[in-house]
Amino acid sequence: SFIGEESVAAGEGSILTDNPTWIIDPIDGTTNFVHRFPFVAVSIGFVVNKKVEFGIVYSCVEDKMYTARKGKGAFCNGQKLQVSGQKDITKSLLVTELGSNRDPETMKIILSNMERLLSIPIHG
């Protein structure tokens, strides 16, 4: 099966089944792309039985290829990635995305979540 983000965003329905499925977003960061903000990627995932098996993200402007496979780790241009050992959330960096849905109920949830996050003394 195949699910394309751009077609779903345009209103086409999609149902994730147990079938092996490619999920592709050819312009991940469409809003960035439209505004010429240089953080755009091609994102591809492969799912079997509704579980992600591997993913690939190519950051076009940076010329970086991120890959990850279930149980095998994550890599950037072939170099293994790892999470930081930081356990103190006040020393973390918050990066967020508001999304494109401006439905009042959705916005309430997003803003409520943001308020909870911003009440923590974190960098952002």
Q: Which residues are annotated as a binding site?
A: 5, 25, 27-28
Q: Coil, strand, or helix at residue 80?
A: strand
Tokens found for residue 1: 């099966």
Amino acid at 61: V
Distance CA 81, CA 27 (A): 24
* 3-state helix, strand and coil shares in percent for the chain, rounded to the nearest 5: 25, 35, 45
Amino acid at 90: T
Distance CA 113, CA 124 (A): 15
Q: Binding site for Mg(2+): what residues are annotated?
A: 5, 25, 27-28
